[in-house]
Amino acid sequence: MDNLVLSFNVVFPLFVSIALGYFLRCIHLLEGDTQKSLNKLCFKVFLPIYLFNSVYTTNISSAFNPKLMGFAVVGLLTIYLALMVWIPRIEPDNAKRGVMIQAIFRSNFVLFGLPVATSLCGEQNLGPTSLLIGVVVPLFNVLAVVCLETFRGGRPDVRKILRGIATNPLIIASVLGISMNLLGIRLPSSLTKSLTDLGRVATPLSLVVLGAGFQFEKMHGYIRQLVICISGKLVVCPVVMVTMGALLGFRAETLVPILALFGSPIAVSSYTMAEQMEGDGTLAASLVVLTTALSILTMFLFIFVLKQLGLV
């Protein structure tokens, strides 16, 4: 019973924030340009500050886990390559192919995964998760651009990919945090407190903004694609990868990042990227909405099962 309550306590606050955002949109208090501006503010300011704090205050020597990073990278690449072969065999429409591939391998690791890791591990044990973000986020961006460009019929622009990686606020924050940590650069306590307070805004505000972006009326006509992507993203991938991680000996603060990485819903930015690269934007938006809503249930079940097994 204790594990059931703990699992509920981890997931329910996320649901409340998302539901509040959707309610605010329904009463026209958070929509249109306001929602887009707040989304940009979270991505470019609050989430990078939160990520910087996590990395900057981490004991890197103890948090650095090459086995975990290797497992995550190899797992992502394996899933990606399998999807690049399998999806074209079952989906004839190029505009949908890239979107479906991106939907299954690319997760909302920062926005959804970090709160889960924080609730399960505590802020003092976020090191492995924070360092993993610095590796996974650039990989997500590269693979997403390649698959969308491939099925658009173009050639991936290497310079554009590298520029996108170099200017990504989350990557910049990770690199800056790691660099200052390794160099032993200490910030004044007053500035550290200010950054900590600002970083705490990131998760609740981002989830509220995410909820405000839900548009259920646009989901009709994509039943087959939605079922394939949702089951692959929220069930197949996390079950396989978490099971493999557990068998390889990952536990607690090293198993939680695996669950957060492979069990989180589709990244919100995948919709924007699909729109910009001639993918099916309606399908992309529907997948973001449904996986985010359903991941509340699936993440609850995963946490409960792992707690019952004593793995986290």
222-244 pLDDT, tens per residue?
Answer: 899 999 999 999 999 999 999 99
Most confident of 78-82, 129-133, 210-214, 275-279: 78-82
Domains along the sequence of the chain with CATH: 2-308 (1.20.1530.20)
Of the chain, the end-to-end C-alpha distance in Å amounts to: 16
| Residue 22 CA: distances (Å) to CA of 9, 190, 192, 196, 209 | 21, 36, 33, 27, 8
Q: Determine the Cα–Cα distance for residues 14 and 268; give it in Å rounded to an integer.
A: 15
pLDDT tens-digit series, residues 31-52:
888 888 888 888 788 888 987 8
Give bridge partners of residue 88 from the DSSP assignment. Answer: none
What pTM does this model have? 0.79
156 — pLDDT class (breaks 50, 70, 90):
low
Q: Are the CB atoms for 144 and 270 separated by under 8 Å?
A: yes
Spell out the residues 6+ positions from residue 45 whose beta carbon is closer than 8 angstroms to its own: 169, 198
